[in-house]
Amino acid sequence: QRLCLANKVNLPGPGTYELNGYIYAKLAGTVEMMNDEN
């Protein structure tokens, strides 16, 4: 399932992959958005 656009703000994490500028889920489940402030 396509989750969102892949960019500098949205990065693929565990259980996801990037393809053609989008992040997709490898597994079924919920989306968890995390804000990383460096």
Residues 6-30: pLDDT tens digits?
999 888 988 899 999 999 998 877 7
User: Can you give the pLDDT at residue 7?
Assistant: 93
How does DSSP classify residue 9? S
Spans of all domains in the chain: 1-28
| Residue whose C-alpha is closest to residue 17's, from 28, 29, 6 | 6
User: Can you give the pLDDT at residue 34?
Assistant: 73
Angle among Cα 20, 25, 29 to the nearest 5 degrees reads 160
